[in-house]
């Protein structure tokens, strides 16, 4: 397929077809050329359609599809895999201004939203209604359409699973402009292929999501967070399975090496975690959250959780039992990736996910090859679900040399991961960043099925080209 450029005539057709703003040419802001990981791919779009409705998205797609112009769906642009980067040119459909919470059905525990609603806003509104929307990716100013399209995970995935578990139904605009509805707001559904689930994690390559029905749950009544302070990273990581097997069912289980916390505290200008315990310098931290339904259970829970952490090797345990304390403890964790992105000129991301039993292996392996590859490796992340984030970093290095070294590191880590039952991405998606690695991990038969599915939704291959699976 040869992609066409948006010429003045088609631009006029596009403007006439929609009721929303269309920005073209030199007026397009540079930020539309990439997401939060520009190293995964960049490209300026010919125009941006700032969609206000399903009808706008549909009308825009009809014109663009007819004229062989690539269509790139976009939410807040906070992705870390190059998913919304227009690497083949074309027109971005920005869904971030479709930002209304449409309705609450508290009897059936369903909320209907437009795709541009920020996760932050839905989470806060859910709490006000006495409910909870469990998915909790670190970037709260990402859009729900983006979260669904990447199957975003986050800190509560260890207990509640990822975004996929909360998607009941959705409205989707197919690349040729047809509007379809997938799924249902029923408690269960065995009615044919589960197309709404196929859309989850499809990274804007199958259709554009313009409305989503999400499951919410009753809010847990009491939560408490405990921070285990460890002498070093290996002892911290080894404690993860102790907590998992304790039966206390943690809501969150995040690990952070001290070096990351130093960077995060320098970034936020605030020290939250202790730097030593029992006269020993802290080397790593395990941040946990637990829930219960009564005040009486809370004390027992705190005691048991502290015991588990201490028996698992923690030097000391800090308890955060106020909303502000919990917020601050997690703000330090959330600042880890941002602090790294701020502190380095070159940053590459690895979002490998391994079985729980292999977490210590992959983390220790990554750290052990730091010198060999000649780069700074920062590991932190969702220890409880095996999703180990690795930031591969360097300063004062030639771009080509950084690429060469980071690819070497990724080859080594993914090579090790294969033997451990790993998958390429735990939550950020494939985008353009890991497209070759997906093929390598999945094998030709699986890739052929993926390409077949893509061809049914998008026979011309115009929707977000160069992402997830390439044409053979």
User: Judged by CB under 6 A, which of 41, 154, 313, 386 binds ligand FAD?
Assistant: 154
User: Judged by CB under 6 A, which of 41, 43, 45, 83 binds ligand FAD?
Assistant: 83
The interface region with ligand FAD, picked from 101-109, 203-211, 248-256, 296-304 by CB under 6 A, is: 203-211
Containing 206, the helix (H) or strand (E) segment is: none
How far apart are the two ends of the chain, measured CA to CA in Å?
12
Tokens at 94, concatenated: 């920005």
Q: Strand 110-113's sheet: what is its strand order?
A: 101-105, 110-113, 208-215, 167-173, 179-183
Tokens at 14, concatenated: 């596009």
Establish if 379 lies at the interface with ligand FAD (CB under 6 A): no
Secondary structure (DSSP) of 312-347: TT-SEEEEE-SHHHHHHHHHHHHHHHHHHHHH-SEE
Tokens at 224, concatenated: 């408490």
Residue whose C-alpha is closest to residue 18's, from 44, 68, 54, 67: 54
Tokens at 31, concatenated: 């930020």
Establish if 175 lies at the interface with ligand FAD (CB under 6 A): no
User: Judged by CB under 6 A, which of 337, 461, 465, 466 binds ligand FAD?
Assistant: 337
Minimum separation from the CB atom of position 422 to ligand FAD (A): 17
Establish if 384 lies at the interface with ligand FAD (CB under 6 A): no
Encoded one letter per residue, x for contact with ligand FAD by CB under 6 A and - for no contact, window 286-305 reads --------------------
If DSSP codes are grouped into helix, strand and coil, which group holds residue 290?
strand
User: Judged by CB under 6 A, which of 22, 63, 64, 76 binds ligand FAD?
Assistant: 76
Minimum separation from the CB atom of position 140 to ligand FAD (A): 9
Establish if 209 lies at the interface with ligand FAD (CB under 6 A): yes
The interface region with ligand FAD, picked from 145-153, 179-187, 188-196, 309-317 by CB under 6 A, is: 145-153
Establish if 46 lies at the interface with ligand FAD (CB under 6 A): no
Establish if 95 lies at the interface with ligand FAD (CB under 6 A): yes
Asked if 224 and 299 touch (Cβ cutoff 8 Å), the reply is no
Establish if 152 lies at the interface with ligand FAD (CB under 6 A): yes
Minimum separation from the CB atom of position 243 to ligand FAD (A): 19
Question: Taking the C-alpha atoms of 123, 124, 129 and 131 in order, what is their torsion angle to the nearest 10 degrees?
Answer: 30
The interface region with ligand FAD, picked from 150-158, 246-254, 316-324, 390-398 by CB under 6 A, is: 150-158
Place of tokens 């006029």: 12
Residue whose C-alpha is closest to residue 261's, from 223, 230, 307: 230
Establish if 208 lies at the interface with ligand FAD (CB under 6 A): yes
β-pairing, 47-50 vs 91-94, is parallel
The interface region with ligand FAD, picked from 21-29, 77-85, 183-191, 342-350 by CB under 6 A, is: 77-85
If DSSP codes are grouped into helix, strand and coil, which group holds residue 16?
helix
Interface residues with ligand FAD (CB under 6 A)? 35-36, 73-80, 83-84, 95, 115, 137-139, 142-143, 145-147, 149-150, 152-154, 203-204, 208-209, 337-338, 427-428, 464
């Amino acid at each position: 397929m040869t992609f066409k450029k948006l010429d003045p005539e088609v631009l006029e057709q596009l403007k006439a077809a929609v009721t929303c703003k269309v920005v073209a040419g030199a007026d397009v802001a540079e930020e539309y050329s990439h997401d939060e990981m520009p190293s995964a791919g960049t490209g300026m779009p010919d125009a941006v359609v700032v969609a206000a409705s399903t009808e706008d998205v549909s009308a825009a797609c009809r014109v663009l599809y007819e004229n062989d112009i690539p269509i790139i769906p976009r939410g807040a642009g906070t992705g870390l895999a190059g998913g919304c980067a227009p690497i083949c040119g074309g027109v971005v459909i920005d869904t971030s201004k479709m930002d209304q919470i449409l309705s609450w059905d508290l009897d059936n525990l369903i909320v209907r939203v437009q795709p541009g609603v920020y996760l932050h806003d839905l989470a806060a509104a859910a709490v006000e209604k006495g409910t909870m929307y469990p998915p909790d990716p670190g970037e709260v100013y990402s859009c729900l359409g983006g979260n669904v399209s990447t199957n975003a995970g986050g800190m509560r995935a260890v207990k509640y699973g990822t975004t996929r578990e909360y998607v009941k139904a959705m409205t989707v605009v197919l690349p040729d402009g047809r509007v379809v509805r997938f799924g249902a707001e029923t408690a269960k559904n065995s009615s044919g292929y589960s197309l709404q689930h196929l859309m989850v994690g499809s990274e804007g390559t199958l259709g554009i999501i313009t409305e989503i029905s999400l499951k919410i749950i009753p809010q847990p009544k009491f939560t408490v967070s405990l921070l285990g302070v460890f002498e070093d990273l290996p002892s911290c990581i080894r404690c993860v399975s102790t907590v998992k097997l304790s039966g206390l069912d943690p809501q969150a289980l995040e690990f952070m090496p001290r070096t990351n916390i130093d960077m995060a505290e320098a970034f936020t200008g605030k020290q939250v975690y202790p730097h030593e315990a029992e006269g020993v310098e802290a080397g790593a931290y395990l941040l946990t959250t637990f829930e219960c339904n009564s005040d009486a259970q809370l004390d027992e829970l705190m005691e048991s959780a502290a015991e588990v952490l201490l028996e698992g090797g923690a030097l000391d345990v800090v308890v955060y039992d106020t909303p502000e304390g919990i917020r601050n403890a997690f703000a330090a964790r959330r600042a880890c990736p941002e602090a790294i992105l701020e502190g380095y000129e070159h940053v590459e991301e690895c979002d490998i996910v391994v079985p729980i039993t292999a977490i210590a292996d992959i983390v220790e392996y990554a750290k052990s090859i730091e010198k060999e590859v000649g780069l700074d490796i920062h590991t932190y992340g969702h220890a409880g679900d095996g999703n180990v984030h690795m930031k591969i970093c360097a300063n004062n290095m030639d771009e080509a040399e950084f690429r060469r070294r980071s690819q070497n590191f990724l080859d080594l880590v993914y090579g090790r991961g294969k033997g451990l039952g790993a998958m390429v991405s735990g939550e950020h998606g494939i985008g353009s960043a890991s497209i070759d690695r997906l093929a390598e991990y999945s094998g030709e038969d699986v890739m052929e099925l993926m390409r077949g599915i893509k061809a049914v939704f998008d026979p011309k291959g115009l929707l977000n080209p160069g992402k997830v699976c390439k044409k053979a």
